[in-house]
Structure 1
Amino acid sequence: MATIIDKIAWIHLQEGKILSTRSRGKNVYYLPGGKREPGETDLDTLIREIDEELSVAIIPATAAHVGTYQAQAHGHADGDTVQMTCYTADHHGTPTPSSEIEEVVWLTYAARDRVSPVDQIIFDHLHEAGQLH
């Protein structure tokens, strides 16, 4: 039976590049964020995950929904879908890898083939909007 993986992601753009992360032992980059825990709102998940992964504090009042995207979940059975609800938000602190994150990078659209399938859709959307170079 196919499952839907509910994830929240932070879209942080700077000078036409997007902040991405790579977890230990993985060869694909993902937008920072993660799975919702029971009872959490989108904002709760965003704040918790970004603090856990990057040691930065999201400023809740600045969070803005960008879009919700779906694709085949990377590394999961065929038909398993990831639903990624994306937000932009201002933050305090400098993104630093922590927890399971091994690498923090700034990617351009040229790196599209190095990100997960759902992130590729998001990259396309941001590139078409002129935000990702």
Structure 2
Amino acid sequence: MSIDAASSQTLPDIIVSAVAIIRDRRVLMVTARGRDVVFMPGGKVDAGETLLEAAQRESREEISVGLISDTVRELFTVVTQAHGEPEGRMVRMTLFAGIPDAEPQPAAEVSALHWISSAELHRCPPAGAEVVRRLAASGLID
């Protein structure tokens, strides 16, 4: 196959749902075991799952909370280069905000929780950085 043919093939977007829990003008992010960057709590959408169902499931799996149903709202979707993936592989992350039904705690592959402001943008992979920029621009976080 020629280089031109290879470059014209595009990898499918990685479809992800994430949750934004905001407290004291900071957003909750997590670190996974053995990783040094911070991520939004969330993950890939399973077959047959809605974006919201995936966000709720991932929230329970990673930070041991669900979002109280009548407080949940879809904020926005970011599309950017996927962290740790080949150039051109995009992540399409839909972000939901809501009030947690318990105090967030690390679970599964999550080793720690971090309350992030835009001053810590350098700790975020591309999708997380875009989320932090948008939350700051909308006045939800510092």
TM-score, normalised to structure 1, is 0.95
The 2-side partners of 1:16 and 1:48 are apart by 25
| 1:110 CA drift (Å) | 0.6
1:125 aligns with 2:134: yes
Q: Is structure 2 residue 91 aligned with structure 1 residue 82?
A: yes
Cross-structure match for 1:60: 69
* CA RMSD, 1 decimal: 1.0
- Please point out which of 101, 104, 108 is paired with 2:110: 101
Measure how far apart 1:46 and its partner are: 1.2
> Aligned letter for 2:45?
R
List structure 1 runs of 4+ shifted beyond 2 angstroms. Answer: none
Identical columns (%): 30
Structure 1: where are the runs of 5+ without partners?
none
Query: Aligned match of 1:49 in 55, 58, 80?
Result: 58
- Displacement of 1:83 in angstroms is 0.5
Between Structure 1 and Structure 2, whose CA radius of gyration is higher? 2
Q: In the alignment, is the contact (CA less than 8 A) between 1:52 and 1:99 conserved in 2?
A: yes
Q: In structure 1, what is the Cα distance between the partners aligned to 2:24 and 2:70?
A: 23
Aligned partners of 2:21 and 2:100 also within 8 Å: no
Distance 2:139 2:77 in 1: 18
Higher share of residues assigned strand:
1
Correspondence for 1:16: 25
Task: Report if aligned partners of 2:75, 2:95 keep a CA contact under 8 Å in 1.
Answer: yes
